[in-house]
Amino acid sequence: MQAALDQLREQGIVSEILGGTIAFNTEEYPPYNYQDEGGRITGSATELLREALNDAELDADFRLLPWARALTEAQLRDRHCVYSTTRTPERESLFTWVGPLVSNTWAAFALEEADIEADSLDDLSGLRVGSFREDAVGQYAASQGVPIVVASAERENIGRLQAGLIDAWVTGEQTASFLAEEAGLALRRLFVFNEVDLYLACHPSVPDQFIARLQAALDRARSRKETPQ
């Protein structure tokens, strides 16, 4: 029986029974998901998903796309998911959710030497504030009356700060730290304004058995990381 099961696995039949290969769309949003120097999609959220997929004997095709496209494809195309995604009220009914994967602290940043003082989103109302298309951080700030200058990708905001095209930047704290270090840029955190979990969001067509097995495996993976060895 074991030999027969192993043969079914090798032939991909077990994978098909469990839901087949699902497209996992993501973006350049380090340290959670990004492409390394070798072209491999990695990051803390990505590796957690890979671990859970392996444990659950499930298959996914990881794809790196611009965020707006990654989110739209998961919303409109069968058998597509997107991560690392904020579970907002506007998005809740559009997807089947798996997670949480990681936690994300939202904060506002300026150049170290910038003559800017701000303690809340209200204090940014007279400034040019950077975010990127379809990003939940920027959308939240905009809903609070902050004038957002939208880029096509998060990495552009480092260059826009350096060039003086924006005065401040709202983003995840770990992302700001990662990108600033990568660019050799000194940033100053102005204030923190939210703490959220990030998820995998899947089109409703993704099979229930795939979702259930992945969630269970993800729960096990998170438990192992949280339990002292």
Q: Band the pLDDT of 76: cuts 50, 70, 90.
A: very high
Are residues 8 and 85 located together in one domain of the fold? Answer: yes
Q: Band the pLDDT of 224: cuts 50, 70, 90.
A: confident
Q: Band the pLDDT of 19: cuts 50, 70, 90.
A: low
pLDDT surpassing 50 at residue 8: no
pTM to 2 decimals? 0.86
| Residue range 151-176: mean pLDDT, rounded | 96
Tens digits of per-residue pLDDT, 92-140? 999 999 999 999 999 999 999 999 999 999 999 999 999 999 999 999 9
Number of domains in the chain: 2
Are residues 185 and 217 located together in one domain of the fold? Answer: no
| Residue range 28-35: mean pLDDT, rounded | 96
Are residues 62 and 14 located together in one domain of the fold? Answer: yes
- Residue 141: which CATH number? 3.40.190.10
Q: Token pair 């993976």 is at which residue?
A: 221
Are residues 137 and 166 located together in one domain of the fold? Answer: yes
Are residues 34 and 17 located together in one domain of the fold? Answer: yes
Are residues 16 and 84 located together in one domain of the fold? Answer: yes
Output 225 or 155, whichever has higher pLDDT.
Answer: 155
Are residues 94 and 31 located together in one domain of the fold? Answer: yes
Q: Band the pLDDT of 226: cuts 50, 70, 90.
A: confident
Are residues 184 and 130 located together in one domain of the fold? Answer: yes
The pLDDT score that the predictor gives to residue 227 is 64
The pLDDT score that the predictor gives to residue 128 is 97
Are residues 93 and 110 located together in one domain of the fold? Answer: no
pLDDT surpassing 60 at residue 80: yes
Tokens standing for residue 129: 């504030």
CA distance 75 to 196: 21
Are residues 61 and 131 located together in one domain of the fold? Answer: no
Q: Which domain holds residue 91?
A: 2-103+198-226
pLDDT surpassing 50 at residue 5: no
Are residues 53 and 116 located together in one domain of the fold? Answer: no
Tens digits of per-residue pLDDT, 175-203? 999 999 999 999 999 999 999 999 999 99
Are residues 173 and 121 located together in one domain of the fold? Answer: yes
| Residue range 26-40: mean pLDDT, rounded | 96
